[in-house]
Structure 1
Amino acid sequence: MSDFDGIIPGNLFAALPTPSDGEAFEAILRCRNVRLERIVSSDRPEPTLYDQAADEWVCLLQGEAELRVEGQAMCLKPGDHCFIPAHTPHGVVRTSADPPCIWLAVHIERHSG
């Protein structure tokens, strides 16, 4: 039993997956219309252009990366974050190998009605 009365603590830097290419996604929490993910990138990002139905806020916790959001490059260092509105085309262009990129992503689903 933990000191958190049933809440299980975690560590974003522990037990990192090592994807050979692309990214590894791990769900951390889902609560109503919000989903948190830890993302670990390989140094070979897939050329995927995302167009998601949810708003997304991402923060780079470790490593260096380049995103392309609506055709514009964004170079990110640890602590940098950005908000990506739903249906905004975006993708990962470049990621560092050492250290690997670790991201925290917050997805916010829009309610209909």
Structure 2
Amino acid sequence: MMDVTGNIFEHVSSGALDEEFTNLLAVEGLMIERIVSTGQASPPGFWYDQAWSEWVLVLSGSAGLLLEDEPTPRELKRGDYLLIPAGRRHRVEWTDATEPTLWLAVHFVPQPPARNQG
């Protein structure tokens, strides 16, 4: 595997019209990406419904993440993380418009439980 280095806090734009997605690592069954949001939200009526699990960590800024079966969005701020299981519909209700919201997202294919070989 090739060595890959960088700094997750470099080149963070503060006024982009669209969210910025940067793949940091992708191997079979796993992808790690940096997402920079500057006030964006999911379009009205849109829900993410992914075949893979996603673990997100907010490194800066804040966001409101709504899970379909919950009545109100969860507010995520710096240091907060959340595991979104595969198939759990969710949407971004809002992201901070006063400073960039920097996310670390880990996408992975859930593995079946290990079988007892004994």
Aligned to 1:59: 57
Residues 1:82 and 2:82 are matched in the alignment:
yes
Q: Distance in 1 between matches of 2:69 and 2:40?
A: 20
How much does 1:111 deviate?
6.0
Q: Deviations over 1:59-106 (max 9, x none)?
A: 011001100012422001100000000010001001112221010000
Structure 2 unaligned spans of 5+:
113-118
* Partner AA of 2:59 in structure 1: L
In structure 2, give the amino acid aligned to 1:51. Answer: D
Question: Do 1:33 and 1:111's aligned partners in 2 also have CA atoms closer than 8 Å?
Answer: no
**What is the count of residue pairs matched by the alignment?**
106
Q: 8 Å contact 1:26–1:39 — kept in the other structure?
A: yes
Q: Which runs of 4+ in 1 moved over 3 A?
A: none
Query: Please, which runs of 5 or more residues in structure 1 have no aligned partner?
Result: 1-5
Match of 1:15 among 8, 11, 20: 11
Query: Which structure has the larger Rg?
Result: 2
Match of 2:26 in 1: 30
Contact 2:67 2:89 in 1 (8 A): yes
% identity of equivalent residues: 40
Report the TM-score, using the length of structure 2 for normalisation. 0.80
Structure 1 residue identity aligned to 2:9 = F
TM-score norm. by structure 1 comes to 0.84
| RMSD of Structure 2 on Structure 1 (CA) | 1.8
